[in-house]
Structure 1
């Protein structure tokens, strides 16, 4: 066995002391461990975008994606080459966005996303994964309309992180709790961080990716509390309902098996007798 480098010797020494925890940088892509597949192999593309702001119509300035292959255990068996495109928004990038992402006007000047290449890459996979799919999915589909209706999964909200012993959902925080760190808020870096996060084996012996796929594949229902009285808003908010400004209604999404119990709660607690119920699969989910 090769001798440890001086930094690794120091890290190993600190690891043995209860008063210290060591953070290690993400492995380089060429060093990512691969495994022999078991059973059915599927593919996914991990995606991240950086935009001019938080509004839905703010343009993308940085799009990154990387394909992975995984087997029926949810084990990543292969990672593809990272792809990244800057895009000129046709206006100055706000100083706050530059501060957050490091992307400057010079980085994007005259640049365009290769829409054909990006569309082809997404279409070649079973699903797209993002760490905040409710943000990324609608913006990607707005820029690449030919992939509308592709399946999406969210590594932030569709992995039961609290049940697994984690006390947050932010990408950097989840990595740190597993002894890793990255320089976040650049699309390609966040994609690689998400891949590493999904490939980690959880305390129960299953990967985070396996848990994500199982949850994302399940059918769910979107319930809109149509015609709920105004004074029910506090109860709805406390139960986790969100306000849809355009439809002017409170809504939630939950597993299909919980539909009848939720309708009973709406009727008995909120006097909402005619809610709207919409079936949702991972081809409609995360679109707002």
Structure 2
């Protein structure tokens, strides 16, 4: 599907005539696919499907009679939104070509695309004289010599690139080596093509040069069994099943002794010993597959509460348009200090959405139309199951709660908490809120995107200790979930303040669920006064400001049905206190 067909597909999907048309590089590149092939669109679509599109794309009016808009930065988000069946969020700019090029460069840096893709993009900009080399280097924050190093990908003969197939893992340094070797003649080009598979895996520049050198010299297997140290020196060699140690210093000999231990362990298939050895070194991180424990702590006779970890799989992101296809819940015992004891009974059921499940959802979850056909969640059984539950926890509770409340409106409200946002993960040096990543940081992995296993993995994380706070994950979640939340709306804020608000943690409203079209932030009560002062001084420039607010607790926080009720009735005294802050 070419880009024009892709655009028409977008327009048809969203029921519009004019939306976005092409990316900025389309004007210059013969193939957009080259630039975004390594962008892992499917992973981005998965993230958007779960968490929504956080950052809008940048667009401008297109100088083209066939189209209305042109994407400047964010083409990966555009394609991912299509895969996730979500309307694209975009900001209209008046950028000229140079400003658009600089915006695109900054977008590429943030997106973490490969050096190869950066080279393609930069080469297009230089070839079409959008930016000079000096302007390009300045925009990227690199020296001209560093830029020249990056641009060597486009100088590598096409025959080598085609043999490698996917050069995304190649470093700029390795690309320089490949380019330099290719200039030495056809025999070097042929040698590079012969080792293309090894290059594709991320082979270092030194190893590329050595392999080509040996191939040219006819020594094809001379170094296949060599073991080298960090300096590239041969410290040992396998010969006819024996390890001949040639190391000259004690450090290399010590490492080789450990290596022999590894081989003995592998021969005996003792994986636990191997894992222990690897963990003891500073070169490896060992993670294990999740195994369901019999219990987390022995009974200490303290009063117990019942928690329930809940996960929903659905046909899409919007609870207005999409339906539940699987519900999973796992109960567990816990105490006020955040200790988890036994895992209790589970509730698991499919639900027929009465419409086809998109192939992307099936790929993500493994759930097919046949699996859910004529299946129905028994609401009476579900209601009985939840009777003794004190709190429901979900990873992205806003998503799960919205589907749950719409599907089961007659079930009595429960307190909800979110393991994604009720834990200060970044303050614990855990840089992503994804469940799989948090599990990785706690040294385990699981097969995600099925309801019950996601629940069990979530409880396993709750039972761990936070690395910096040194309290249980569940304890911090309970403390945060128990606080009142104030949702502040920065209505009528100046456009130029958007970057300040975003940097401060504000998000843009959801037109399907929010009554205001504005930036908003959720805060605990102790941070409200400080935020009002910030808005007064840095955004509005006025002593008296009008800031709409919603106030809710754990029962109404994630419920679109209950938020307004809680804001206007249950916490009237807090509302009056907030309004007094705005007029001081």
Q: Which residue of 1 aligns with 2:421?
A: 157
* Aligned partners of 1:122 and 1:128 also within 8 Å: no
Q: Does 1:274 align with 2:546?
A: yes
Which has the higher mean CA deviation after the structures are superposed, 76-85 or 38-47?
A: 38-47
Which structure's relative contact order is higher, taking Cα pairs within 8 Å and 6+ residues apart? Answer: 1
Task: Please state whether the residue corresponding to 2:331 is helix, strand or coil.
Answer: strand
* Aligned partners of 1:37 and 1:77 also within 8 Å: no
User: What is the 5 A alignment of 1:202-241?
Assistant: 202-203=466-467, 204-241=469-506
Render the CA deviation track for 1:27-56: whole Å, top value 9, x for unaligned. 225x34332236432111100000001112
- What is the CA-CA distance between 1:123 and the residue it aligns to? 3.8
- What is the CA-CA distance between 1:148 and the residue it aligns to? 5.8
Q: Does 1:253 align with 2:525?
A: no
Alpha-carbon distance in 1 for matches of 2:429, 2:498: 32
Q: Which residue of 2 aligns with 1:118?
A: 382
- Whichever of the two has the greater Rg, that structure is 2
Q: Does 1:50 align with 2:313?
A: yes
Q: Which residue of 2 aligns with 1:132?
A: 396
* Aligned partners of 2:295 and 2:341 also within 8 Å: no
Higher-helix-fraction structure = 2
Q: Which residue of 1 aligns with 2:449?
A: 185
Render the CA deviation track for 1:218-238: whole Å, top value 9, x for unaligned. 122111123434444343233
* Aligned partners of 2:292 and 2:456 also within 8 Å: no
Higher-strand-fraction structure = 1
- What is the CA-CA distance between 1:143 and the residue it aligns to? 0.9
Alpha-carbon distance in 2 for matches of 1:221, 1:92: 39
Alpha-carbon distance in 2 for matches of 1:145, 1:157: 25
Q: Which runs of 5+ in 1 are unaligned?
A: none
Q: Which runs of 5+ in 2 are unaligned?
A: 1-268, 561-584
- What is the CA-CA distance between 1:93 and the residue it aligns to? 0.7
TM-score by length of 1: 0.91
TM-score by length of 2: 0.46
* Aligned partners of 2:489 and 2:520 also within 8 Å: yes
The alignment covers a number of residue pairs equal to 283
- What is the CA-CA distance between 1:83 and the residue it aligns to? 1.5
Q: Which residue of 1 aligns with 2:533?
A: 264
Alpha-carbon distance in 1 for matches of 2:503, 2:427: 21
Task: Please state whether the residue corresponding to 2:386 is helix, strand or coil.
Answer: helix
Q: Which of 81, 84, 96 is the matching residue for 2:345?
A: 81
Alpha-carbon distance in 2 for matches of 1:119, 1:208: 28
Q: Does 1:91 align with 2:363?
A: no
Which has the higher mean CA deviation after the structures are superposed, 114-123 or 256-265?
A: 114-123
* Aligned partners of 1:48 and 1:64 also within 8 Å: yes
Q: Which residue of 1 aligns with 2:557?
A: 285
Which has the higher mean CA deviation after the structures are superposed, 219-228 or 75-84?
A: 219-228
* Aligned partners of 1:35 and 1:75 also within 8 Å: no
- What is the CA-CA distance between 1:250 and the residue it aligns to? 2.0
